[in-house]
Amino acid sequence: MLDNIKALSFDMYRTLLDTKDFHEQAVREILVREKAKWVNTDAFHTRWDQIYDEVHINMKPHEFMTEREVSIESLRLVFKEYGINGDPETDVSLWLEKYDEADLYPEVEEVVNILVKKYPMVIVSNVDNNDLGYAKVRSRNLPLLDIITSDSFKSYKPHGRLFKEAVSVLKCNPENILHIGDSHRADVMGAKNAGMSAAWLNRRSQKRREDLPPPDLEITDLRELLDFLKFQN
């Protein structure tokens, strides 16, 4: 099925970089800080994620906010819904500072160092350039041609600009690139709209969204990707 793959692109967060339960931890701490312990933590977390996605979705292709700004705006809107008179800027900082403790998933370096023997690779990520998690990835010196960020190109997946840059860096046709990511919308839909193949890294065994294009491949660990590509070739 994917016997024409000549290059790879990867998402960063929750694909290469393990964010653990930092967001869940932050939500609990934020509700305590804002004296809103009466709020259901799981419901608040779910609603924040939903509004975060809505802020992205409602952004026009020519518009841009950093990930930090999107986080602050979405938290402000959640506070408004819950009637919390909070401080979203400070609370978002509390969350993002936790990513200084993020690290690569255990299999990442092994898999990437094997794949690079045959496939040129890039990262394509919705991330701010001063993000602590991004700094952690850079410090590991993975054998990548480039790290293509939303902050650098003022555009977000699933819009096509970042994927077009990946095509340019990888120097091959879109149909010869396999993009691997954890987001069905940003990664799978974005890659397929750009003419690439898409692998959905479904680490948490989530239900596939029927309203979005299906991935060409679904895996739960990057080692499966390695096995699949070796089998195909």
Q: Are residues 114 and 96 in the same domain?
A: no
**pTM (whole model) above 0.95:** no
Residue where a domain terminates, one of 65, 81, 100: 100
Residue where a domain terminates, one of 50, 78, 100: 100
The three-class DSSP label of residue 138 is helix
The three-class DSSP label of residue 173 is coil
Q: Are residues 113 and 15 in the same domain?
A: yes
Residue 112, domain extent: 7-19+103-232
Domain count of the fold of the chain: 2
Q: Is residue 147 part of a domain?
A: yes
CATH of the domain at 219: 3.40.50.1000
Segment holding 7, helix H or strand E:
strand 7-10
Q: What is the pLDDT of residues 165-210, one digit of tens each?
A: 999 999 999 999 999 999 999 999 999 999 999 999 999 888 888 8
Q: Is residue 2 part of a domain?
A: no
Rounded distance between C-alpha atoms, residue 58 and residue 62, angstroms? 11
Q: Are residues 73 and 168 in the same domain?
A: no
Q: What is the pLDDT of residues 91-117, one digit of tens each?
A: 999 999 999 999 999 999 999 999 999
**Across 21-45, average pLDDT:** 96
Q: Are residues 177 and 160 in the same domain?
A: yes
